[in-house]
Structure 1
Amino acid sequence: MKLPLAFFSTVCVLSGCTTANPVIQQQIDDLTACQKVEGLLQSYPSQFNALKMAKVSNKFMDVWQAKYHLVGDACQISQVTTGSNYQCQKVYSQATEAVSSYQQAVSIIASCLDMKQWHKTESLINGVHRATFSAPLQPEITVLSASTLAKVSQSWQTSVTVGTAQPSK
């Protein structure tokens, strides 16, 4: 697993990492799910710097488009005063699809982590499915599935977040 991440980091440094590279993205896509989870955990201490691309700032936080999507294909990196996170989400037209995606993500993440060191909490409150994986000195991994706030048509989303939780709204 270290070879693909080392290769990714080396190529990123040499190329200046100004734009996403389809060859590197394909190599990332070819990694196993567990290699991707491990890569995100290893990238957390650097605030996912190797994965940052276009930045958008506001008075509350900085957000970067993710250069490479280690999970899904709609990822971003957020940074607030309490830390940073890497988040990917997917929207579904049916609640059953979102819940199935949530269950699959929770299962994959649990299979990748040493559950003797990691603790999983899971809840279902008001139709919101949430699983949180935590371990000492590690970033949290949260999988969430819920209805969106879309007003035109009902939709649901599943998201995976690695890192510091976003501030409550």
Structure 2
Amino acid sequence: MNHRQFILPIALLSLTACQQLPADVQQHVDTMSDCEKVLALTSGAQDDFAQLKGSEVSSPLMSAWQPKAHLIANSCQINQYSSGRVAYECTKSFITESDATALFNKVDQQLSACLGTSWQKDQVKTTALLYTSGASKAKISLSQGTGLDRNEPWVISLEISQ
């Protein structure tokens, strides 16, 4: 009997099972409040977001995963670079500057409300903020600027890393 025909399906099934959360845990992630997501991500930075990694994304230059929690409407990804650095990164593009500014301000307010008094916010530039805390190795950067897309040139980016 040729056992090779059984190995690949079993391996794929095992890999798929490892990437899915139990139904009750996934339901909790799906129903997390914005503040619970922020706190899970800041604490998750310490272990390279292991509990928040979803399915792996194909990428030739780095390892990448879809996160189980998004801070900015399904525009986020967990990336591991060749240096070993792991970051939770979100990028959202807009047609107008006013839409980008509105989201920038909303995310800033969300972070400020959720992080608490142990976190400090520094304005690096007019449109760039850095959140740090002596109680956490995580750092959060939020920025607004322009990108190369002519149709949606205004970009908001959020990064959480160590």
- 154-163 vs 31-40, which deviates more? 154-163
1:43 — aligned with what?
44
CA distance in 2, matches of 1:28, 1:51: 9
Measure the CA separation in 2 of the matches of 1:19 and 1:27: 13
TM-score by length of 2: 0.74
Which amino acid is 1:70 matched to? H
With the length of structure 1 as denominator, give the TM-score of the two structures: 0.71
Larger radius of gyration: 2
Work out whether residues 94 and 152 of structure 2, in 8 Å CA contact, stay in contact via their aligned partners in 1: no
CA deviations over 1:38-72 (Å, ceiling 9, x no partner): 1111211210123332144555xx23131413312
1:98 positional shift: 0.5
Aligned to 1:162: 160
Unaligned runs of 5+ in 2: 1-15
Written as runs of structure 1 = structure 2, the 5 A alignment for 1:35-74 is: 35-52=36-53, 53-56=55-58, 58=60, 62-71=62-71, 72-74=73-75
What secondary structure does 2:156 align onto? strand
Percent of residue pairs bearing the same amino acid type: 20
Gaps of 5+ in 1: 1-14, 165-169
Provide the C-alpha distance between the structure 2 equivalents of 1:135 and 1:36, rounded to a whole number of angstroms. 17
1:94 to 81, 86, 96: 96
Residue 90 of structure 1: SS of its match in structure 2? Answer: strand
Confirm or deny: 8 A CA contact 2:120 2:131 kept in the other structure. Answer: yes
Aligned to 1:18: 19
Counterparts of 2:159 and 2:121 in 1: how far apart (Å)? 14
Over the residues paired in the alignment, what is the CA RMSD in angstroms?
A: 2.6
